[in-house]
Amino acid sequence: MILTPIAPTELEETLARYESALAENGLERRVFGRIAASRTALEGDVQAWHGAAVALAAEFGMQPIPEPPQVAFSWDGGAVRTESEPAVLLHEVAHYQLASPQRRALPDFGLGAGPETGEIARADAAQRLDGLARESEEQMASLLGILWEIELGQPGILAFQEQNWLEGAGRSGAAAFFGATLQRLRDYGLIDADGRPSRVLRISADLG
């Protein structure tokens, strides 16, 4: 849910304000530049985007199933249901990469029920991460999923807006949050030095 809707006529100005708060010639500005430029892909082929998202999930060994997640889970601990928007599927791939090895085998990655989960009670019973740790992982999955969209030639700018990354555009706090999230993804090895997503999985356990 977008906290502050951005009218199409205001998008260019908003993007410029966001960029103005980022360090010049830094990783954040390079990554943001690719996100902003993805708006040129808005008229692309959604069916092709979906196929690319399913193919990436399969490449990671996520066992795609052509069903809606509402019948059970998006991720049931062994397979991903693919009757979702391409951005949603790539978000699930990001969660798969980010989950600790123990939680990767749990419904909804042990984070509790997601917005498309059908078996809410079972997902919540499998929850192993909460509070700030869960929030941090959700933030990283959000940005990593967007970066996968960009990497696959899809308009990640839409999810960037919908997931409120443009909230507070031009403020130092918004820029710092973006930079810190990128750094956490680098610390896990999930993006490279240029901020592009890698095909690796997290190997570290959850703390506590």
Q: What is the pLDDT of residues 22-59, one digit of tens each?
A: 988 899 999 999 999 999 999 999 999 999 999 999 99
Q: What is the pLDDT of residues 101-158, one digit of tens each?
A: 999 999 999 999 999 999 999 999 999 999 999 999 999 999 999 999 999 999 999 9
Residue 204's pLDDT band (cuts 50, 70, 90):
very high
**In whole angstroms, what is the distance from residue 183 CA to residue 108 CA?**
24
Q: Are the beta carbons of 124 and 105 closer than 8 angstroms?
A: no
**Whether the predicted pLDDT of 182 surpasses 70:** yes
C-alpha triplet 45, 50, 56: angle, nearest 5° = 130
Q: What's the Cα-to-Cα distance from 141 to each of 98, 115, 135, 138, 152, rounded to whole Å?
A: 7, 15, 10, 5, 16
Whole-number pLDDT of residue 158: 96
- Residue carrying the six token digits 């993804």: 185
Mean pLDDT, range 60-84, rounded to an integer: 97
Total-model pTM: 0.96
**Whether the predicted pLDDT of 208 surpasses 80:** no
Whole-number pLDDT of residue 24: 87
Residue 59 identity: E
DSSP one-letter string for 106-158? SGGGGS---TT-S-HHHHHHT----HHHHHHHHHHHHHHHHHHHHHTT--HHH
